[in-house]
Amino acid sequence: MKEMKLFQTYKGDKIQTKNRFLMAPMTRSRTTQPGDIPNALMAEYYKQRSSAGLIITEATQISLQGKGYAKTPGIYTKEQIDGWKLTTDAVHEKGGTIFLQLWHVGRVSSSKVNGLQPIGPSGVIAKDTNVYIFDGAPNGDATFVPVEEPKEMSQNDIDRVIEEFVEGAKNAILAGFDGVEIHGANGYLIDQFLRSNSNKRTDAYGGSQENRIRILLEITAAIVAAIGKEKTGVRLSPFISFKDMNDPEILETIMLAAKELNKLDIAYIHLCEADWDDAPVIPNDFRKALRANFKNTIIATGNKSPEEGEVLLIEDLVDLIGFGRKFLTNPDYPQRVLTNAPLNVISDNHTLFGGGGARGYTDYPFL
């Protein structure tokens, strides 16, 4: 196992890691209330998983408007910045590297979550899509509620959101993060702009593929100017269409975005890949095209086995492999892979989102 590329250091142009294991972002809803404030329990959770070459935090809203799920962390108040410092200090103390994922959910929200009408590129509701609140369920479980119709964003709304992404990035650096990941995947705000079925605009941000990638590029360029290209990554999900996001043009649109992101010379593109049993497999032709069009680090995450990830590394189609649930239940996941040790499994699904405190969060055993 020691000879696997997964265990080798990675020295990219913008990113260097001690191994090729990436801990993928996973929403866990453990913040202190009120205020969605990161806390010592979260710091312990990330510290335990510092053996990953790179940690990407759970999605973190850049504003109250950008919040779509209860108890998810923010990065727009002093209390949230101070709370995140607990995590960055703990991870760095263990020799880890950690980026913050910047998040705006756009239309995937409800006034029951944040008291506000959702916003999006167009006034198109996401069919068959729910978010969660914690509203008196007897066992502390999340209660799912349908999303509401969004308000179509004005130019002022767009300008404000770009500013909020930039402020979130600056705040992340103040909180001690090594960089940020712009969440452009999984049906949230930026992804909504990218796709023709959710973006019905007729202005400079809608219509053509060039227009639909505009907000992603403006946000990315502004963050690069604020904190540096070596500290800026982008997450995209070309083959994921849940949250009513099925768009026949998305592969072409994302490849066009990749070419433009390459010009901005950002640190990485992170592919969020479908992770259910009969999910579509990303064809190697797409991976090869992405490699040809984007010169810096490429990350792939999607419930891969170490062996599947190793093949992608050996074939030079990606540089880092993201693991989510395996890190959730195995804080020492790289060591377990190295020694072929048995893996912990999810002890109780009720503890995935919010319920349980430390239970099902920081109590998974090490070897």
Whether the bond into 34 is cis, omega within 30 of 0: yes
pLDDT of res. 355: 72
- Residue 296 to residue 14: CA distance in whole angstroms: 7
> Residue 281: is its pLDDT beyond 80?
no
What is the pLDDT confidence band of residue 138, given thresholds at 50, 70 and 90?
Answer: low
Lowest-pLDDT choice from 101-105, 128-132, 138-142, 189-193 = 138-142
Q: Are strands 119-120 and 130-133 parallel, antiparallel or unpaired?
A: unpaired
Q: Are 221 and 259 in contact (CB under 8 A)?
A: no
Spatial separation of the C-alpha atoms in residues 174 and 231, rounded to whole Å:
13
Task: Give me the residues paired with residue 37 across strands.
Answer: 32
What is the per-residue burial (b if ≥16 Cβ within 10 Å, else e) of 293-328? bbebbbbbbbbbebeebbebbeeebbbbbbbbbbbb
What pLDDT is stored for residue 142 in this prediction?
Answer: 86
Token digits of residue 100: 């913050």
Higher per-residue confidence, 259 vs 350:
259
Per-residue model confidence (pLDDT) at position 279: 63
Q: Where are the domains of the chain?
A: 5-124+150-323
What beta strand segments (E) does the chain contain? 10-11, 16-17, 21-23, 54-61, 98-103, 119-120, 130-133, 143-146, 151-152, 179-183, 232-236, 268-272, 297-301, 320-323
Phi and psi at 168, nearest 5°, equal -60, -40
Confidence check: pLDDT of 277 > 80? no
Residues annotated as catalytic (active site), given as ranges: 188
**Across the chain, what does the average pLDDT equal?**
96
- % the chain with pLDDT above 90: 91
Name the band, by pLDDT with cuts 50, 70 and 90, for residue 43.
Answer: very high
Question: Stretch 281-299: mean pLDDT, rounded?
Answer: 95
Count other C-beta atoms under 10 Å from residue 355's C-beta: 20
Closest CA to 69 of 120, 127, 143, 139: 143
Q: Which CATH number does 5-124+150-323 carry?
A: 3.20.20.70
Structure tokens given for 47? 């510290």
